Amino acid sequence: MYRRTGARQSPDGDVDPLLVLPTRAEPPRPAPRRRSSPISSLAVVGGLLLCVWAFTTGHLIWSATPQRGASFRRGGAAAAAAPSLPVDKRRLPDGTWAPTLLVYVFSNTDPEYLNNLNFFVKFGMAADDGVTYVIVVQEQEGQPKPDLPALPTNARYVFHKNECFDWGTIGWVFSSGQVNAEDYKFFIFMNSSVRGPFIPPYARSGTRWHDLFFNKLSDHVKLVGPTISCEGSPWQGNPKGEWRTNPHVQSYVLATDKVGLDVWVRDGNVFTCWTSMWDVIWHGELGSSLALLNAGFGLDSFMMRYQGVDWLDKDNWRCNKQANPYGENYLDGVSLNPFEVLFVKERVVQNDWSFAVQAKKYTEWMEAQASGKPDVVSNVYRDDPKPFRYPRLAWMQVRGPDCWDEKYYLQQNPDLKHYTTKEELWGHFLRGGAYEGRGFRFTCPYDPMAGQQEEEQEQQQQQQQQQQQQQQ
């Protein structure tokens, strides 16, 4: 993050209207020389010193615009009007951090979860970040203890029987006396199903990743997370029964403050140790956001699509046609990106989803950079492009050459003029052109169900004929 350090000269580069270009007109005659008095000399020197002081202290800035020309303005007014980035809300006047708690629920139920924890400890924790970390290890009976990473001085492990799911476990952290919620002002709750934080290199200086969450909190917004979903859930899993369809911050990572936490405590159900997943979804996953919405507070996320959305407006409660944004291509035809939402799901079942593939690749690069041995010469695509090409190739072959515009392809790629038939051009397209960024187009819409519908109609006709023959 970047901040302005004071008023500066305008970088607009506008033409100075006071600058007069030379012409062929007769040059002006020199004026007769006058003797300057000591008082006028002192006035000039004083004026120059005043200008130097004004520029060096930022009390005077130069502004040039095409409409008004060049002028001097007082720097105070300009500085007040200039946009500035918000100060981290956790930062206290004395420069220290407001008390902040992060509860991380770890369960060793997926091979990637320990990798996610290791990544978080290495890239998400720091001894001087003003956060108290409590890592809750969900112990499974008969399961060996995992090789847990060493923690910084502001973090510790606590162990708990794996019986309450995440929300109930967080409630246990408070109710058991492991942590006194009254000692903290800001809170982050997360679990080991996600990997992160992933911060773009251009945004790594300045604000810590925690404050990207907390800086979105306000008197109006009391819950922030990477993503928001409008996918509903039925009571006790009965699709014909009552449904909760409110928007909710997905609970794999979320942040709130003491006001938001108090709303959940008063609700009485959010932190209950439910043993049914349906109860956890109803009271915790959806209920946590609903409790805040009912209290008049808003939600927020890092998703580009949902910036500025008023989630108290029920017209927005069917967002994304109620599809979970975490499915591959489920977010209006695209997938989430680690740099967009900071944390993404990383589990074995999702290893081939695009955001999970990106997260694993970013992990490799970050680990190599941290070790001082960045690898910049390898390229798995160049090593074997077939796994990357096959899905696209299959789609192209299903569409077929009938609607493929070979004339347009040749027009856009004149280096292929030695190909003389559509068959040759189509073959080139499938072998490489489709993956090289070459221009192409299809001239008819694609209906993947058209062939299936024709087959179903033929089958129905055959069944009708057989029935007629049997009746005869």
Question: Three-state secondary structure along 452-463?
Answer: HHHHHHHHHHHH
Query: Running DSSP on this structure, what letter comes out for residue 3?
Result: -
- Say which amino acid occupies 181: A
Domain termination residue (choose one: 345, 372, 402): 345
d(CA 80, CA 70): 20
Query: Residue 260 has what pLDDT?
Result: 98
Tell me: do 260 and 310 sit in the same domain.
Answer: yes
DSSP 404: B
Residue at token pair 């096959």:
390
Regarding whether 292 and 203 lie in a shared domain, the answer is yes
Which of 63-67, 86-90, 198-202, 461-465 shows the highest mean pLDDT? 198-202
The CATH number covering residue 292 comes to: 3.90.550
Q: Domain for residue 240, yes or no?
A: yes
Write out pLDDT tens, residues 128-148.
Answer: 999 999 999 999 888 888 999
What are the distances in angstroms from CA 284 to CA 9, 102, 160, 289, 375?
Answer: 53, 18, 19, 8, 43
Which spans in 58-164 are helix H? 75-81, 111-124
| Residue 248 contacts residue 124 (beta carbons within 8 Å) | no
pLDDT value of position 435: 86
Q: Over 80: is that where the pLDDT of 172 sits?
A: yes
Q: What was the pLDDT predicted at 427?
A: 92
- Same domain? 417 vs 308: no
**Residue 274 maps to a domain:** yes
What's the pTM value of the predicted model, to 2 decimals?
0.73
Q: Is the pLDDT score of 318 beyond 90?
A: yes
More confident site: 244 or 29: 244
Per-residue model confidence as pLDDT tens digits over 56-108: 444 433 333 333 333 333 333 333 344 444 578 999 999 999 999 999 999 99
Domain that holds residue 434: 387-472
pLDDT of residue 143: 83
Q: Verify that 424 and 310 share a domain, yes or no.
A: no
Residue 154 forms part of a structural domain: yes
Q: Do 127 and 257 belong together in one domain?
A: yes
SS3 395: helix
Label residue 18 by pLDDT band (50, 70, 90).
very low
58: left (phi over 0), alpha (psi -120 to 50) or beta: left
Residue type for position 332: D
Which residues fall within 8 angstroms of residue 68, CB to CB, at 6 or more apart?
none
| Pairwise CA distance, residues 83 & 421, whole Å | 60
Burial of 375 (0-12, 13-18, 19+ CB in 10 A): exposed
Count how many domains the chain has: 3
pLDDT at res. 358:
93
Residue bearing the bigger pLDDT, 37 or 316: 316
Q: Are 138 and 107 in contact (CB under 8 A)?
A: yes
- What integer pLDDT is reported at residue 56 of this predicted model? 43
Range of lowest pLDDT (340-354, 406-420, 449-463): 449-463
Whether 30 maps to a domain, the answer reads: no
Q: Do residues 299 and 230 touch, judged by C-beta distance below 8 A?
A: no
Query: Under DSSP, is residue 367 helix (H, G, I), strand (E, B) or coil?
Result: helix
Rounded to 10 deg, the angle between the 354-370 and 111-124 helix axes is 50
User: Residue 353 falls within a domain, yes or no?
Assistant: no
Q: Mark whether 194 and 313 lie in a shared domain.
A: yes
